[in-house]
Structure 1
Amino acid sequence: MRVVVIGGSGHIGTFLVPRLVRAGHEVISISRGARAPYADAPEWEQVRQVLADRQREDGEGVFGSRVAGLSPDVVVDLICFTVEAATALVERLRGGTGHLLHCGSVWRYGPSHKLPISETTGTAPFGEYGIQKDRIARMLKEETASGGLVTTSLHPGHIVGPGWHPIGPLGNLDPAVWSTLSAGKPLQIPGDGAELMHHVHADDVAQAFERAIEHRDAAAGEDFNVVAPTALNVRGYAHTAAGWFGQSASLEPVTWEEFRRTTTPEHAGTSWEHLYRSHCFSIGKAEALLGYAPRYEPEAAVLESVRWLIEHDGLQVARPLIA
């Protein structure tokens, strides 16, 4: 099939595009051309590249026509963030494209009340990003249920992989946590360390998209959580990460007020957004309907990210990895 991947050079597309080529599909990648994929693969030589500024063209009302003009059998949209943009694309593809797959987010759910969270048991989202992702997923489900375009939405957790910083044990992107843990120094944590984060390797997300394309009938009109088989809490994550450097984590629980005084407003805000949600998800639906089988446990996925960053001078640590 001819598959158009919108945002093909990003985290997920880096792994998805080569997978689709290996599966025998004709692949067209739409991106701004601002960066290369995060990992090299020979399959990219067989990919047609289309340069487009999605945000600008959505504003001009022409992006949907650009995508439809490529005559795709399948469209994978990895960079849609508003229900207006999603609706415009649906309306342009309806009747001409066989399957639209949307990349959502687990932030379509609010704080956890019952674990693990399934596609039907999450609380209402908060924050504009999560609200928009939830609205898009509901719109797509209604579109397919009403007899319109066949759609599927997949909702990844905290994506990790080579080439970028993972969400760390404090629920933020502050690189200082890795130098602290690698040195065996005390690490202040907000709360008691039981708050959860659910990571997923980018290649496992790509696998889920590939399987949703393969199993179109089972995926039609559905939404899926896409995460690692298990989740990490703050203290477990910190102890595991310290062990990669031959250290033991020394954790000092503090109040949120104290924690905010030790870091930047940006890092503190990101920590609160992750840890307040305290997410852990079920992948039972994706396993049953798509055959989703993630290869990476969360700690293995994060370790791959950390190792890549250290090897490429993107992360300063006190001791070398022994893991």
Structure 2
Amino acid sequence: MKVVVIGGSGHIGTFLIPRLVRAGHDVVNISRGQRAGYVDDPAWHDVRPVTADREAEDRAGTFADRVAGLEPDAVVDLICFDLDSATALVERLRGATGHLLHCGTIWRSGPSLKVPVTEDTGTPPVGGYGIAKAAIAEMLEQETRSGGLVTTSLHPGHIVGPGWHPIGPLGNLDPTVWRRLSAGEPIDVPGIGAEFMHHVHADDVAQAFEAALARRDAAAGEDFSVVAPSALNVRGYAQIAASWFGQSADLRPVTWEQFRHDTEAEAAQMSWEHLMRDHYFSIEKARAVLGYAPRYEPEEAVLESVRWLIDQDQLDVANPLKV
């Protein structure tokens, strides 16, 4: 097939585009720059790059025409965050393209009431990002079930892999937590650290997209949670991460008020956004319908990311990894 990937130079595309090339597809990558992913792969030499600023072209009403003009058999949209943009693309591709796959997020579901959360048991989303992604997924499902364009939406957890910082044990991107864990220093944890975060390796997400492309009829009109086979809660994540450095996590429960007082505002708010959702999702639907078989447990995916950051001198730690 001729597959157009929108935003293929990021986390998921780093692994998805080489997979598609190796599977024999003719691949076009639409991105704002010419970067070829976070991990070197010779498959990128067989990809046709197209430079485009989606936001600017959406405002001008030309982006959907650009995509359709490439005459794709399938489109993988990894960077759509706006319902109007998603709708414009659907309307332009309807009748002209065989399959549109959309990258959503587990944040389309709000705070958990019962875990693991399935595609049918999530609570209403909270926050602009989750609300917008949920609206796009609903629109895509209605489009296909009404006889229109064949669509599929896949909803990853917190994506990790080599090349970028993972969401850490406190639910934020503050890199100092890794130094404290590696040194065995005390870490303030809001509450008792029982809240879950559900990570997933970027290559496992790529695997799911490749499988959905190959199983178009089964995936038509469906949505799938794409996460690791298990999830980490705060205290478990911290203990496992500390052990990588030969340490034991020294966790000190504090109130959210105290945590906010002692933590930089942006990091504290990010922690709240992740931990109050308390997300742990089921992958049974993706297993059954797509044959999804994630290779990475969450701690393995995070460790790969941390190791890469340390090797690239992008993460300050007090002791070397012992694993």
TM-score bin, normalised by smaller chain: over 0.9
- The Cα shift of 1:35 comes to 3.6
The residue number in structure 2 matching 1:29 is 29
- The Cα shift of 1:15 comes to 0.3
Secondary structure, in 3 states, of the residue corresponding to 1:277?
Answer: coil
Counterpart Cα distance in 2 of 1:268 and 1:59: 34
CA-to-partner distance for each residue in 1:211-261, whole Å, 9 max, x for gaps?
A: 000000000000000000000000000000000000000000000010011
Instruction: For 1:304-319, list aligned pairs within 5 A.
Output: 304-319=304-319
Instruction: For 1:157-168, list aligned pairs within 5 A.
Output: 157-168=157-168
- The Cα shift of 1:262 comes to 1.4
- The Cα shift of 1:275 comes to 0.2
The residue number in structure 1 matching 2:175 is 175
The residue number in structure 2 matching 1:252 is 252
Give the partner amino acid of 2:257.
E
- The Cα shift of 1:34 comes to 5.9
| TM-score normalized by the length of structure 2 | 0.99
Counterpart Cα distance in 2 of 1:86 and 1:188: 41
The list of structure 1 runs, each at least 4 consecutive aligned residues, that deviate by more than 4 angstroms after superposition, is none
Counterpart Cα distance in 1 of 2:94 and 2:45: 30
Alignment of 1:82 with 2:82, yes or no, is yes
The residue number in structure 1 matching 2:295 is 295
Q: CA RMSD in A?
A: 0.6
- The Cα shift of 1:139 comes to 0.2
| TM-score normalized by the length of structure 1 | 0.99
Alignment of 1:71 with 2:71, yes or no, is yes
Counterpart Cα distance in 2 of 1:141 and 1:22: 30
Alignment of 1:93 with 2:77, yes or no, is no
The residue number in structure 1 matching 2:15 is 15
Counterpart Cα distance in 1 of 2:209 and 2:176: 34
The 1:184/1:173 distance shift into structure 2, 3 A limit, reads: same
CA-to-partner distance for each residue in 1:61-120, whole Å, 9 max, x for gaps?
A: 100000000000000000000111000000000000000000000000000000000000
Secondary structure, in 3 states, of the residue corresponding to 1:246?
Answer: coil
Moved more, 70-79 or 31-40: 31-40
Counterpart Cα distance in 1 of 2:197 and 2:280: 7
The residue number in structure 1 matching 2:209 is 209
The residue number in structure 1 matching 2:192 is 192
Counterpart Cα distance in 1 of 2:36 and 2:94: 31
The residue number in structure 2 matching 1:120 is 120
Give the partner amino acid of 1:55.
E
Q: Is the 8 A contact 2:34 2:51 kept in 1?
A: no
Which runs of no fewer than 5 residues in structure 1 stay unpaired?
A: none
Give the partner amino acid of 2:232.
L
CA-to-partner distance for each residue in 1:138-173, whole Å, 9 max, x for gaps?
A: 000000000000000000000000000000000000
Counterpart Cα distance in 1 of 2:189 and 2:262: 10
